[in-house]
Amino acid sequence: MEPLKRVLISRTALAHNFRLCRRQAGGAGIIALVKADAYGHGMLECARLFAKLGACGLAVAEAVEGIELRAAGLDLPIYIFAGVAPQAVKAIVAHRLTPIVSDVSTLALFAREAEGCGQPLAVHLKVDVGMGRQGALPADFLHLVREALAMPTIRIDGLMAHLPKGDERSGTHSRQVLQAFNEVCAAARQLIAYPCGLHLANSGGLFYVAGASLDQVRPGIALYGYYPDGRSGRQAAPEPQLQPAMQYSATILQVRRLPSGHTLGYDCTYTTTRPTTIAVVPVGYADGYLRCLSNRAQMLVSGQRAQVLGRISMNLSVVDVSDIAGVQAGDEAVLLGRQGGDTIDADELAAWMGTINYEVLCLIGRLNYREYTE
């Protein structure tokens, strides 16, 4: 039995985006971000595809994600980006994951756990050049490097930082961050006698900050077809452009005719002003279609826009199809993606929600049945 709602993920679009990122990166390696279930697109499916396309590594938030990737047979480097809790150290070492380390005490935990492994544990050291969340401050970073070098069971495979304003197309702030990162890494590399990669650029850094690609880049949202600064980024981007990989649709359950003056939904937030034909769609906030879209969002029905009417509930929404001929139960309503000659993308949904395209994709992709197309 087919589900009433589904998310379609295009492998063709994912591959196109990966190749566009690789071209933009020049010779830098691609560390593909597949955290948050690949931004709602499916971690295992996306990780396998990006590995096949030549990614030099995969990045997740937590060790449990990395362990799942190892269990699926993925053997390339897997980076743990959200930080390391002490109780995760043993599993990270056992599964050959690569932690991002910001302090000496965590380094010491890994050094002790790595004893008897037969080879040093690869780590990446993080410097804070303005993000403020994690990383050693520049004044303390060389001390962290020296401590790591003094531990025989630790190998520094990379040095990294985050761009706080990587989504700004002007790149003024990011150029200052890049300069600070390059300066501290130049001093660190004087201490490290073996090759050590540098990476700073996220999707915004990759596309908007000249010189930020360095040795590796870390695209996330770009791999899934969106620009980090939303619709303005797409409008300014040259061809070929990134291609959204996700489409979200649902089967209309019922079509009803209501008289003028009839209220709709919880709290009666909408009252019809004319005889109105409505379509009932089995999508609500439990599916990532949030209440804030009530009386605001639109769906595509028969290739035309249909206005959401009334309060979105947990499992149902209602749209106005009065001016769309021939709509009936069983027809498709598209909430995200293309139908006919029109498109509702994650940037438009994000504007209605008052958020960013990242959140839209994560919400919808992780809360619904997914299928993959070639």
Catalytic residues: 35, 266
Distance CA 17, CA 348 (A): 20
- Coil, strand or helix: which one is 57? strand
> Is-contact 91 102, C-beta < 8 A?
no
- Residue type (1 letter), 159: L
Contact residues for 74 (Cβ-Cβ < 8 A; gap 6+)? 47, 48, 51, 58
Q: Encode burial over 329-361: b for 16+ CB neighbours within 10 A, e otherwise.
A: eebebbbbbebeeeebbbbbbbbbbeebbbbbb
Q: Encode burial over 53-76: b for 16+ CB neighbours within 10 A, e otherwise.
A: eebbbbbbbbbebbbbbeeeebee
**Residue 9 backbone dihedrals phi, psi, to 5 degrees:** -115, 125
Furthest CA-CA distance within the chain: 79
Q: Count the residues in the chain.
A: 374
Which ranges constitute the DSSP H helices of the chain? 11-25, 35-39, 43-53, 63-71, 89-94, 104-113, 138-149, 172-191, 203-208, 231-236, 346-353, 357-366
> Is-contact 333 371, C-beta < 8 A?
no
- Pairing verdict, β 317-320 and 270-271: unpaired
